Chain A
Amino acid sequence: MSLAIPNGLDNSVEQPGERAPLVLGDTTYHDITEAVCQVAERKPSTSWVIGFLVSFALLQWLGICILYLIYTGVGVWGNQSPVFWGWPIVNFVFWVGIGHAGTLISAILFLFRQEWRTSINRAAEAMTIFAVACAGTFPGIHVGRAWLAFWLAPYPSLNLWMWPQFRSPLLWDVFAVSTYGTVSLLFWYMGMVPDLATFRDRSTNKWRRMAYGLLSLGWSGSSRHWMRYEKAYALLAAFAAPLVLSVHTIVSFDFAVSQVPGWHTTIFPPYFVAGAIFSGFAMVLTLMIPARKMLGLEKLITIRHLDNMCKIILATGSIVGLAYGTEFFIAWYGQVQEEKFAFTNRAFGPYWWAYWTMVTCNVISPQLFWFKKLRTTPWIIVLICIFVNIGMWFERFVIVVTSLSRDYLPSAWSYFTPTWVDFSMLIGSFGLFFTLFLLFCRLMPVINMAETKATLAKQYHMTEHGDQ
């Protein structure tokens, strides 16, 4: 087998007449199994232990803050008239958006037969589920009486004697996010079953074998099973693709269907979806680059993967920048006084610092990805992606807070000030996210082995025919 790679592990250079390989080196099927399984089978590294302890501590802190909030009331947040949505909703939209990249990679890129997705989709899907878990926390506690959050569900209540109001975007949101979480979980778990069977078959310990045996549902690799499995996977991908677009569309309806100046615009759905993909890919890269280094997966998650993801960030980042410009143009062109004010106030009002942080991070920083050198240098990618994540958090802050703090009733105007609980919960949600992600890295197959092997099989096939 000869896989001509011009400069070591860099497969981002296209060779004419030959497709750049997606799996590098003289890799065999068994090598892939080894590379992925050793992550879970060897002893945890020091960096993993430290990371886990820090994340777990932050998660505990989040739990304490939630208890404090429930016991004391929502006044512990900075939410105050007229900004009743505040950080909890900012965090909600931020985390839901992060999740979108996972589904995009696993469903949309699958439907478009983008095979480079195979080695990154598993971790991205896991990220989706953990991000949705973080997102779901915030509206749940933001309802004020969190122990009554089940009132959101349409069930025959003996206390209320009434049903939810299905013409409200907030209820659509309940359905959208819970469907999204459920379908992502099914998709993720189903994709993992063959790999869990690999874990089962490799385990030497009885208990471990039993646990993975239960999780893998008795998977045997039968061709009949594979055939139905692949059909089901394609169907789920076909559902997840419109679903991922619908979720952030509906999240944007929470804003756009209202009449608050700065929210009441038709551009919101596409603009939110592009922003979600943008932030999601940035998060995937932020996680994946350190992970591939620490877990020794450079042959599977290659520079080419990073390069492709950077291109998506560049594209969606430019869409987001265009959307910012369009909003301003429409505010001027529409000649509605309140809209004009809302946007002038965003950029030059008391929250100018948030607005310009957002523009710097979201519009200017991804433009650096026009340079190939920057797209293929991991530490620079991480740096830019962290900027993008910061920028996207600020985008939601700008949308939620600047519009609410100065709407139609000037006598109610005020300046939003977060409290220590707001900060703690934002940081704590990262604790939740990273705890789950680090546990995933230890306990589950981080790369889709079966699919990567199928890609490798194709690669063998191609090179054999190419050489002769």
Chain B
Amino acid sequence: MSEKKEKTVHGVIAEYTSVDTLMAACRRVRDAGYEKTDAFTPFPVHGIDKALGIKPTILPWIVLGAGLTGTATAMAMQIWMNAIDYPYIISGKPFISLPAFMPVAFELTVLFSSFGAFFGMWALNGLPKFSNPVFTDPRFDRVTDDRFFLYIDSKDEQFQRADVEKILGDTETDYVQTVVEDESSDKVPKPFFMMWGLVAGLSIIPLLVVLKMRVSHSSQPRFHVFYDMDFSPAKEAQQYSTLFRDGRAMRPDVAGTVARGEMQADVDFMTGIDMSALTAIDQPRAERLVRRFNPLYQSDAPPAQEAKSEAGTQAGKSDDGDGPQDAKVDVADEDASENKPVQPAAEPSAAEPSAAEPSAAEPSAAEPSAAEPSAAEPSDGEPSDGEPSIMDTTPWLDKNPLVLDEKTLANGRKNFGIYCSVCHGMSGYGNGLVNERARKIVAQTWVQPSSLHQDTLYADKYPDGKLFSTISNGVRKMAGYSGQIKTRDRWAIVAYVRALQLSQNASIDQIDEAQREGILKEQADAKKVLKEKAAAEAAKTKAAEAAKDAA
């Protein structure tokens, strides 16, 4: 470039005190045709890329690539780890369950994109770079404070030192200077290396110790970090324990709770079945029902096995192979058999599988003896043929155990309105809002809720206890409400349903004489309104027809 003694010239720089003067200079330099230029500013100056002719960056594309890599990595990692290499069964969901993989996929997309933006930006900027010729000028220190610099590089095709100094000197500047090579040492000072070496040396020691232990043998017993984690201080009943302040290994009941097996339940009230009558005809079933409320209940009667075979021949119903633990199977079975009298052949498919499956699966799995299949046959075949071949022998309670006063009925009405009316309708004709909506959208799987006003549901054929049980345990598509409605309130609903049924069938003689007249009048008025309506409708259709004929 120039003489040997002089330092290499990298370019020329000029200093400005405001954004406006810098921008003016930038435009001037660009118009003069210089391309290898740069401005240095303490903060991003908007519009300077245009003034200098800086092209937009490709950074967004790098980030997009990094983000997509993140998503792909996350999905591949999760599918490989949880579905292929080590399949986890979690709540019966598919191994590749995309919704559950979303959060991690999202996080890794963000993480990779951010790495892309961060490292991509530094890489494109050529940083970190600790030696830069512009830094040689001490005045340049103010570039990060309040001064603005414009720089023309010597690599520019047009670069002529005198021209450049002139064009920069013509702008609003007090300071134009050549930028020369940095001659100071670029060696990293020794203490830095020493410190770095010390830290690295020390940090490697634990790793070496671990490696040594992994490859060598030891005759020493294993070291227990947590002795009581490896050797549990668990105690037997009646022993002394150091774990509790009172020293007892056995813990007393928690105040206000009922221990398993100590529940004193009124089973009749909870199930709607006369338990003493049921015990007489089907003891195993009675015991299973009691165990639903009191799991540890032990009967004094002969063991369940014998009783079962007796009862099985008697009722032909309970021999579905259930041990005493199978209370659930029994409940399902109960529900299925209750279906029959209600609507014999209406929709057997909805309820069948749940009832048939347990009883069908049981004999093959639990009792693989050759004699069993024939015994299991009747219960297997019973639900599918759809005929009420087995009479419902359950001794349902005939009478509502609640005191039937106005308060009970009001309570029943309230709860009926909240829980039942959405499907069954406020007056119980099976035309609630949900039903109307389902019909409107022609829902394929919808099962019409029963109208409560049919003789099969009146008290003589469908006792109060049975109605209670249906509300509690559900029927067909209707779910059981025992979890949501209190026992007492369910009985109140039963009472209210009876009142509803009566309301649609009562004769005028059943009403207080004082009220009869008013009701009759109301009825007459209603009839009159209906008649008028019908007449108006008829006239309308007639007129329409006449118009049609005329046309």
Contact = CB atoms under 8 A, between A and B. Distances in A.
Interface of A: 28-30, 33, 73, 145, 154, 162-167, 169, 171-172, 175-176, 179, 182-183, 186-187, 190, 194-195, 197-198, 200-202, 210, 213-214, 217-232, 235-236, 239-240, 242-243, 246, 250, 253, 335-337, 410-414, 449-451, 453-454, 457
Interface in B118-175: 118, 120-122, 124-125, 127-132, 134-135, 141-146, 149
B257 A411 contact: yes
B418 A167 contact: no
Q: When A and B form their complex, which 3 residue pairs have the shortest distance between CB atoms, in order from nearest?
A: A232-B121, A29-B146, A163-B81
Interface string B188-200: 0100100000000
B93 A167 contact: yes
Contact of B38 (A186, A197, A222): A222
Interface stretch (B51-59, B371-379, B454-462, B522-530): B51-59
Given A30-B145, A183-B114, A201-B143, A167 B108 contact: no
B484 to A, nearest CB: 5
A424 to B, nearest CB: 21
A236 B104 CA distance: 19
A226 B44 contact: yes
Contacts of B149: 221
B484 A453 contact: no
Interface residues of B, number: 76
A9 to B, nearest CB: 23
B43 A451 contact: yes
A33 to B, nearest CB: 5
Contact of A453 (B42, B57, B77, B125): B42
A30 B146 contact: yes
Interface stretch (B84-92, B337-345, B400-408, B542-550): B84-92
B40 interface: yes
Given A162-B86, A183-B114, A223-B38, A172 B103 contact: yes
Contacts of B41: 221, 223, 226
Nearest to B51: A223
16 contacts: A154-B77, A165-B88, A166-B100, A166-B101, A175-B103, A179-B108, A194-B144, A198-B145, A200-B144, A223-B45, A226-B45, A227-B56, A232-B118, A239-B110, A246-B110, A453-B42
Given A220-B132, A222-B40, A239-B117, 12 more contacts: A162-B86, A165-B88, A166-B78, A167-B88, A167-B100, A179-B107, A183-B114, A194-B43, A217-B122, A219-B144, A450-B44, A453-B42
B57 A223 contact: no
B63 interface: yes
Contacts, number: 209
B110 A201 contact: no
Contact of B63 (A214, A235, A243, A246): A235
A213 B86 contact: no
Contact of A223 (B54, B78, B101, B120): B54
Interface of B: 19, 38-45, 48-49, 52, 54, 56-57, 59-60, 63, 77-78, 81-82, 85-86, 88, 90, 93, 97, 100-101, 103-104, 106-108, 110-111, 113-115, 117-118, 120-122, 124-125, 127-132, 134-135, 141-146, 149, 189, 192, 226, 228-229, 253-254, 256-257, 259, 418-419, 483-484
Contacts of A410: 254, 256-257
Given A220-B135, A227-B54, A450-B43, A166 B82 contact: yes
Nearest to B104: A175
B49 A223 contact: yes
The residue in B143, B189, B256 that gathers the most chain A C-beta atoms within 10 A of its C-beta is B143
Contacts of A253: 103
B19 A457 contact: yes
Contacts of A197: 144
B130 A213 contact: yes
A451 B49 CA distance: 18
B85 A163 contact: yes
A186 B114 contact: yes
A420 to B, nearest CB: 17
Contacts of B253: 411
B382 to A, nearest CB: 35
A165 B87 CA distance: 10
Contacts of A183: 110-111, 114
A177 to B, nearest CB: 9
A223 to B, nearest CB: 4
Given A218-B132, A223-B41, A167 B97 contact: yes
Contacts of A213: 130
Given A227-B57, A229-B44, A202 B121 contact: no
Given A201-B143, A236-B117, A175 B107 contact: yes
A164 B42 contact: no
B61 to A, nearest CB: 11
Given A30-B146, A176-B107, A335 B132 contact: no
A229 B125 CA distance: 9
Contact of A179 (B38, B110, B122): B110
Contacts of B60: 231, 235
Contact of A221 (B111, B117, B144): B144
B144 A217 contact: no
A363 B371 CA distance: 71
Contacts of A454: 43-44
B158 to A, nearest CB: 19
Contacts of A186: 114-115, 118
A337 B487 CA distance: 13
A28 B142 CA distance: 14
B400 to A, nearest CB: 23
Contact of A228 (B57, B228, B418): B57
Contacts of A198: 42, 144-145
B377 to A, nearest CB: 40
B12 to A, nearest CB: 16
Contact of B39 (A210, A222, A336, A457): A222
B208 to A, nearest CB: 18
B146 to A, nearest CB: 4
Contacts of A457: 19, 43, 45
A220 B143 contact: yes
Contacts of A246: 103, 106-107, 110
Contacts of B40: 220-223
Contact of B42 (A235, A239, A450): A450
B312 to A, nearest CB: 36
Contact of A218 (B44, B129, B146, B259): B129
A224 B59 contact: no
Nearest to A37: B145
B257 A225 contact: no
Contacts of A220: 40, 132, 134-135, 143
Residue of B49, B144, B149, B189 with most partner-chain A CB within 10 A: B144
Contacts of B108: 175, 179
Given A198-B145, A222-B39, A411-B257, A228 B134 contact: no
Given A201-B142, A223-B38, A224-B125, A336 B484 contact: yes
A218 B127 contact: yes
Contacts of A30: 145-146
B125 A179 contact: no
Nearest to B144: A198
Given A164-B81, A243-B110, A223 B141 contact: no
B141 A201 contact: yes
A20 B185 CA distance: 50
Given A164-B81, A167-B90, A218 B42 contact: no
A228 B124 contact: yes
A239 B442 CA distance: 45
A2 B222 CA distance: 79
Contacts of B106: 242, 246
A235 B64 CA distance: 10
Contacts of A413: 254, 257
B256 A242 contact: no
Contact of B118 (A162, A176, A190): A190
